[in-house]
Amino acid sequence: MNDYSVIGRSIPRPDAWEKVVGGRGYPVNLRLPGMLHGTLLRSPHPHARIAGMDASRALALPGVKALITPADVPRIPYSATFFKPATSAAVVRDMLILDGTVRYAGQPVAAVAATTASIAEHALELIEVQYEELPAVFDPEEAMREGAPEIHAGVRHNVIGRPTYSLGDIEAGFSAADHVFEGVYETQRVHTCYMEPRVCVADADAQGRVTVYASVQHLFGLREKLAFVLGLPVSSVRAVQPPYIGGGFGGKLDLAPIEPLAALLSLRARRPVRIEQSRYEDFITSSRHPAKVYLKTGISRDGQFTARYARTLLDASAYASEAPEVIRVHSRFGLMLGYRCPNAKWEGTLVYTNNMPGGAFRGYGAPQGCFAVESQIDEICEKLGFDPVEFRLKHAPRCGDPHPSNAAWKLDSYGFDECLVRGAERFGWRSRAKAASGRGVKKRGFGMAAQPLWVSGCLGAPDTYEHSGAIVKLNTDGSADLATATIDIGSGQTAVLCQIAAEELGISVEAVRLSGGSTDTLPVDAATHASRTTYASGIAVKAAAAAAKKRLLEVAETMLEASAVDLEVREGMVRVKGASAHAVPVADVVKRAESPFVQITSKGTMQTVLAEKGTIIGTSSLAPPRNPSPASAQFIEVEVDTDTGEVRVLRAVYAHDIGRVVNLAGAEGQVEGGLQQGIGYALMENMRFEPETGACVTADFLNYKMPTAVEMPRSIESIFVETDEPSGPFGAKGLAEPCLIVPAPAIANAIYNAVGVRVRSLPITPEKILAGLGKI
Amino acid sequence: MSLRQLKEFCIPGDWAEVDAQLGRYGARAFVLAGGSFVHGLDARGLLHEVEALIDIRNLGLDYIRAESGGLRIGATTTFAHLQAAPTLGESPWLGALADALACPPRQIRNVATVGGSVAASCPYFDPPTALMALDARVAVVAGGARREFPLGELFAGTFENSLRRGEIIVELFLPRPTGRSASAFLKLEGNANDLAIVNCAASLEIDAQGRCSEARIALGGGVGDAIARATSAERLLQGRVADDEVLWSAAEAVGEDIDPHTDHRASAAYRLAVAKVLTRRALTCALARSARTPT
Ligand SMILES: Cc1cc2nc3c(=O)[nH]c(=O)nc-3n(C[C@H](O)[C@H](O)[C@H](O)COP(=O)(O)OP(=O)(O)OC[C@H]3O[C@@H](n4cnc5c(N)ncnc54)[C@H](O)[C@@H]3O)c2cc1C
């Protein structure tokens, strides 16, 4: 336990009840008077030129109020990524709101708004499109061959870029190696499967200013990108913050076609336009990029890394979007920086294909790398007889070391070794060998994996927004309103930020409420992504609360006849430090600040002075000073049916260093949710496409399999290694992403331990296991 | 767009009204029972022409009657209702049906009907596979005339049944085996909310000498256009004591009886391999249940 009154406690989410009864705050539940319903016409072809389009019959349909074709959109090329400047040289601007060329099956080609959704859908059927089909290519290796279809004009061999990374002397490193390990590790395309569909309502007023309500992870990113693609000044777009959205996981980190299309339809019709994606549309809007990683590692006799070389082929999909950043994060945090090695080299290739868009997804390139690195470490330990925990400890960075991604910082708080040690102990790692035996057809196996290095935000990432702001306003009933442009994407940001404000203000967490706002009223903020909110938004919230508290104490000076520096706030009372009897309620201080100069009371008149007047409010707008690393280690027990190849995850022990835990129940929820997605990534989730047409055949939950409650292990134990991050709010760091990065290799390693089958491509289906056992 | 042509939704309380509506809408009438497969058919574009939904749940077809000759199940009996019937828990010969009914999620079990489950002719459903191994017979009615036939004749292909225009399934009949008998059903699925990749039901009757006097094995999932009876495997069991060796060879033989296909969920080779495993396991389970059955 700690000395804090609110930090570290399990706080029920303030929005939980409302969500359970339908969640009227979800953008999908928003309705405006006079609102029209928009739908998109999508191409059945994966690669085609639109030779002609006749929409006259659709426009003539009664109830149709506006229609947009490729001829009607501003020809402003853009990148959909929310969290990078629209004009950054680091993004590839290869998209148009509607393009005359279709590059993946399902790409929108027209949009209609009508008085009802069914009229709009009917109108789509009346639009005649002449497609000139072009040859399509879905495999990134084929896309790079001579003579492959050119997907974007002038991009030779469809290669968008070949980023590299290097450290030391790779040749010398391999010469010094006594053993060399090599392997190719492949990961599949998966979808985030947020619950609330992508939806937006755009409302253009008579002056052409667009107000937009959307289920996205970045309020200011939405405003900036929308204004950019529409060719409007940013102040002509107002993005309104929803109280929460129904999940994101990265799937709502970039502009989807629905947002600019709803805006254009609204500008035409001069009425609000709502577009809600179907589940099929959600599935083809964003995904984790498939990757093929070749990894080669040199090891000395005494088990030291001497050299590590990797090559990554990333299917960037039809549009580059997040891919250049995904592959950068992948190379550093997924592959190269986690363990110490003097000589390292990486070469990446980003390739266009006619596949559906990739995007951001919790872990952002790291799962594709972690699967390779952590699987191969297991292979090394197996072959050379090292204990996987000891081996990782030997190569792990230590607390106080320079930060591997930025030498200007140190790993000020860092408990990776403790994650490994405590996790192993709780799991019973040492006694695993005995238990691993099993007679019948079902075999038990034990495995582990880790993620030594991760982020608490984007500080240090090139051309990526990283700043937050907050407004804390005290009320005359002693409560506080907290406003920030941070979006609660379902992971409990609201609860955590309220806790941080409450702790700093010295009031109860129930007395803090997250209030809304819009890009007109809120300080700029980065996206809810990159495991950043608790840390980076938390710092801003703490600073705003501290500013409000400073003002509160100043006002209390006359009331308590003491100087502000001698005052403190505890349990809702402002009091003289060390003299708890000498106190006034926060509410009374706020009342005094907001009261008229002369107050008439039953006891006669009372007076305040000019210096005490005004709302007690604190604001902040700042960038976090650091980017501290969380760390994690996971231990998994599986049972493999050697006749059917089915795998059950029986038990997980998951240790994380996240600095100070702010909301214990929330943190455990993150870990369990990440494990669920990680099990899906490891064992079943896989987006599949018709080989000829590129049409997605897994765009619903019958065909796209993710773990249900039944597939979850009966035992999930979370260990939090509470290091105290000096730069964090009350010592906190990030958590969200490692939870999902680590499970796949941990499960792969456990399966190997159970049945001796090493599967180097995800998902590890029952079929691959039976093939590995030689049974099919 | 779903049901765009829909003009009428009716819940007839007697057969005269059913016949009148069926007469009026002919091929554009859609018989509705639990309604749990409507969105599935719609998603496949099979409901564009439908003008009338005729809900048959008010016709007194929700019943379970245990008779000496066997079990009669009304067509609109829900899975949940059937699961709760005491006879299901008490009768090892119905074990496969009890196993299969437990597969769909609870919400579905509360609405899905036995009649709808077979009428849908979806080879990926579970209860139909169990019913095939239990030698079920179907009773259908049209315009007051009733006919009965073996369940296998209902399945004309995937999503295609052999009912004639205006025919409604009213009942399923499961003949009670004479000797010591038990059955079992198993399903292989991708997660707990999945249709079968492969499923298998086995029903055995054991004579006084411990030999299989009757064996019925049915397989569903992606093993053919319709649920398949594994007659080659059944023949190998007929008249033999079902020891390990016999069970293994019977399970191997299902390869002769099914035609698995490859899709994004599994390859034909995998389906074949697990069809054999499931057959062996279902037979083993049925055998174990029969051993606990009083003769
Ligand atoms: C989420 C989900 C999960 C599922 N999981 C499973 C599972 O694990 N295992 C499984 O077996 N099934 C599963 N199902 C399918 C379910 O079993 C079927 O939808 C159900 O059996 C259909 O019965 P119903 O009464 O709802 O039929 P309806 O949807 O009402 O009708 C289905 C079809 O049968 C016709 N029909 C219905 N009754 C009659 C009748 N008496 N005479 C003639 N025609 C008739 C209808 O016209 C229609 O064509 C699942 C379905 C869903 C939605």
Residue A95: predicted pLDDT: 98
Long-range CB contacts (within 8 A, 24+) of B23-30: B23/B166, B24/B52, B25/B51, B25/B52, B26/B165, B27/B165, B28/B52, B29/B54, B30/B54
In terms of CA atoms, which chain B residue is nearest residue A688?
A: B264
A698/B193 Cβ within 8 A = no
* Nearest ligand 1 atom to alpha carbon B128: 11
Regarding the beta carbon of B125 and ligand 1, being less than 6 Å apart is answered yes
In terms of CA atoms, which chain B residue is nearest residue A117?
A: B1
Give the residue-averaged pLDDT of A208-230.
Answer: 98
CA nearest to A343, candidates A398, A400, A304, A392: A304
Regarding the beta carbon of B290 and ligand 1, being less than 6 Å apart is answered no
Please, which pLDDT band fits residue A65 given cuts at 50, 70 and 90? very high
First to last CA, chain A: 54
Same domain, A434 and A498: no
Domain for residue A534, yes or no? yes
B267 chain-A contacts, CB cut-off 8 A: 767, 776
- A335 has pLDDT over 90: yes
Residue A601: predicted pLDDT: 85
Residue with tokens 């027990």: A637
Please, which pLDDT band fits residue A113 given cuts at 50, 70 and 90? very high
Please, which pLDDT band fits residue A434 given cuts at 50, 70 and 90? low
Same domain, A597 and A692: no
Question: In this structure, how many other beta carbons lie within 10 angstroms of the beta carbon of residue A14?
Answer: 19
Show the CA angle centred on residue A466, arms to residues A461 and A467, nearest 5°: 160
Residue A237: predicted pLDDT: 98
A644 chain-B contacts, CB cut-off 8 A: 188, 274, 277-278
Same domain, A472 and A596: yes
Give the residue-averaged pLDDT of A89-96.
Answer: 96
Residue A646, CA atoms < 13 Å, CB-side half-sphere: 20
From-to residues of CATH 3.30.465.10 in chain B: 64-175
Whole-model pTM: value is 0.97
- B295 has pLDDT over 60: no
Residue B294: predicted pLDDT: 67
Give the residue-averaged pLDDT of A360-378.
Answer: 98
Same domain, A613 and A727: no
Same domain, A478 and A450: no
pLDDT digits (tens, 9 = 90+) for A690-737: 999 999 999 999 999 999 999 999 999 999 999 999 999 999 999 999
Residue A6: predicted pLDDT: 96
Please, which pLDDT band fits residue A374 given cuts at 50, 70 and 90? very high
- A330 has pLDDT over 50: yes
Regarding the beta carbon of B260 and ligand 1, being less than 6 Å apart is answered no
Residue spans of alpha helices (H) in B164-223: none
For B8-55, CATH gives 3.30.43
| Per-chain mean pLDDT for chain A | 96
DSSP state of A336: I
The sheet carrying A199-204 orders its strands as A64-68, A108-114, A36-42, A273-276, A199-204, A210-214, A237-240
User: Which region among A387-396, A481-490, A593-602 has the lowest average model confidence (pLDDT)?
Assistant: A593-602
Residue A514: predicted pLDDT: 93
CATH superfamily of the domain spanning B180-291: CO dehydrogenase flavoprotein, C-terminal domain (3.30.390.50)
Cα–ligand 1 centroid distance for B160 (angstroms): 13
Residue A436: predicted pLDDT: 55
> What is the domain extent for residue A41?
31-134+195-247+252-283
Q: At what angle do helices A538-560 and A586-594 cross, to 10 degrees?
A: 80
Percentage above 90 pLDDT, chain A: 95
Phi, psi values for residue A164, rounded to 5°? -140, 165
Same domain, A647 and A759: yes
Residue A1: predicted pLDDT: 47
| Per-chain mean pLDDT for chain B | 95
pLDDT digits (tens, 9 = 90+) for A517-566: 999 999 999 999 999 999 999 999 999 999 999 999 999 999 999 999 99
A776/B270 Cβ within 8 A = yes
Regarding the beta carbon of B139 and ligand 1, being less than 6 Å apart is answered no
- A579 has pLDDT over 90: no
Percentage above 70 pLDDT, chain A: 99
Domain for residue A184, yes or no? no
Give the residue-averaged pLDDT of A358-378.
Answer: 98
Same domain, A681 and A736: yes
**A78 touches A229 (CB < 8 A):** yes
- A472 has pLDDT over 90: yes
Cα(B18)–Cα(B13) distance, integer angstroms: 8
Domain for residue A17, yes or no? no
Encode A273-293: b = buried (16+ Cβ within 10 Å), e = exposed. Answer: bbbbbeeebbbbbbbbbbbbb
Domain for residue A158, yes or no? yes
Give the residue-averaged pLDDT of A71-90.
Answer: 97
Cα–ligand 1 centroid distance for A644 (angstroms): 28
pLDDT: which is higher, B42 or A185: A185
Task: Out of B195, B264, B270, name the one closest to residue A688 (CB).
Answer: B264
A701 chain-B contacts, CB cut-off 8 A: 193
Give the residue-averaged pLDDT of B135-154.
Answer: 97
Same domain, A66 and A164: no
The CATH number of B64-175, from 3.30.465.10, 3.40.50.980, 3.30.420.40, 3.30.2130.10, is 3.30.465.10
* Neighbouring residues of A347: CB distance < 8 A, sequence distance ≥ 6: A162, A163, A164, A310, A311, A312
Residue A379 maps to which CATH number?
A: 3.30.365.10
pLDDT digits (tens, 9 = 90+) for B60-97: 999 999 999 999 999 999 999 999 999 999 999 999 99
From-to residues of CATH 3.30.43 in chain B: 8-55
